[in-house]
Amino acid sequence: MPLDLTASSVDLTRQLCDIESVSGNETLLADEIERALAPLSHLEVIRDGDTIVARTGLGRDRRVVIAGHIDTVPLNGNLPTRFETIETDAPAQAPGEYLWGRGTVDMKAGVAVQLKLAAELVEPAIDVTWMWYDHEEVSAELNGLGRLARHRPALFAGDFAILGEPTNSIVEGGCNGNMRIEVRTFGLRSHSARAWIGDNAIHKAAPILDTLVGYTPREVEVEGLVYREGLNAVGISGGIAGNIIPDECMVHINYRFAPDRSAAEALEHLRELFGEYDITVVDEAEGARPGLDAPLAQEFLAAVGGEARPKYGWTDVARFSALGMPAVNYGPGDPLKAHADDERVPLAQIRDCEAGLRAWLTAARRN
């Protein structure tokens, strides 16, 4: 059944979720989105792989990019979606009406709101470039938004960007940076019956863990938002066999750093902490300053209402930030439920997000 963009944003969320689109398998959903948009004469539709771009060309002197990814993490028995009512306070779950299932939070509810408004708002107060992209949940080099920026950089012209990642429909500004390093210790193998001939690399990793345990993460205010950092071992491995003294141990460390630090500064900090060991950088992503002092950001905040919060997780807002465009996260769903087996989005948040975005796109100062 083709997508019905005139349905409610709740119903449209359900339609989108029930078309499975685990990363790498987005083609069917991209086809459906493209087909649903094709008849809409107020939008220019462009496709790159499984990324669909739709833009208005009203000649407004300001343009916003509003984006969302259409892929999800793998299923775990959580499709098709279903509606649920939570009657009493479950742990960390407010009572109310929910849509349960993979993608409801991360982030097809956000995409549904965007698609509905893209179809309906024929003459928004600001020109809009809508982007729905593939491969967000996998390695960065596959990311559809990154690919689009390489293939069609001109599409990224704009004054402000909104990413529909789940934020409980509250504006979250910027994002922490993300760095992962592997810290290695080396020793000398020997038979464990004569351990004194060898040199135990796992034992040598003890001070690395001690440093992590004793570390106090910073809380840093950047442009009015307080970003909380994190420094954690996310993996550890070592050992060859039960009777061999290991000659290598690796601690995989993840540093989430506030956007007052560049990735280079973050690495410098890690070298201060672990400089005596062998360090390999396996992933690095700059953070994004919130950019909430930009005029469009201020108008957006005023229209949506409420205060902005910092975004702790890294999101693609950093890609816009790197292009010099202020960017915020704004979408339905609790980010703590993203990727969870009991992923579920409150229906009220879908409606709130739609209302907020609609208010801004229709009421913003026309030019």
Residues that bind a second copy (CB under 8 A): 176, 178, 180, 190-197, 200, 202-203, 205-206, 209-210, 212-213, 217, 228, 230, 232-246, 249, 251-252, 254, 256, 282-283, 312-314, 335-336, 338-339
Q: Cβ 325 to a second copy, closest distance in Å?
A: 22
Q: Tokens representing 336?
A: 């703590």
Residue keyed to tokens 């119903």: 11
**359 burial level (CB within 10 Å; 0-12, 13-18, 19+):** middle
- How far from each other are the two terminal CA atoms of the chain, in whole angstroms? 40
* Closest C-alpha among 108, 30, 112, 113 to residue 73: 108
Residue keyed to tokens 């990154």: 146
What letter represents residue 172's amino acid?
A: E
Q: Cβ 87 to a second copy, closest distance in Å?
A: 25
Residue placing its CB nearer to a second copy in the complex, 27 or 76: 76
Q: Cβ 229 to a second copy, closest distance in Å?
A: 9
Q: Cβ 92 to a second copy, closest distance in Å?
A: 10
Q: What are all long-range contacts of 239-243, with beta carbons under 8 Å and residues at least 24 apart?
A: 239/202, 240/189, 242/192, 243/191, 243/192, 243/193
Residue placing its CB nearer to a second copy in the complex, 96 or 207: 207
CB-CB contact of 227 with 220 (8 Å): yes
Q: Tokens representing 203?
A: 């034992």
What letter represents residue 271's amino acid?
A: R
Residue placing its CB nearer to a second copy in the complex, 154 or 213: 213
From the list 136, 137, 316, 354, the catalytic residue is 136
What letter represents residue 45's amino acid?
A: V
- Asked if 352 is an active-site residue, the reply is no
Q: Cβ 102 to a second copy, closest distance in Å?
A: 17
CA 68 to CA 19: how far, in whole Å?
Answer: 16
CB-CB contact of 177 with 315 (8 Å): no
How far CA 323 is from CA of 51, 159, 357, in Å, comes to: 19, 10, 23
CA 246 to CA 195: how far, in whole Å?
Answer: 10
Q: Cβ 91 to a second copy, closest distance in Å?
A: 12
CA 258 to CA 286: how far, in whole Å?
Answer: 9
Q: Cβ 347 to a second copy, closest distance in Å?
A: 24
Radius of gyration of the chain (CA): 23
- Asked if 293 is an active-site residue, the reply is no
How far CA 80 is from CA of 14, 75, 189, 211, in Å, comes to: 9, 10, 52, 45
Catalytic residues, by residue number, are: 71, 136
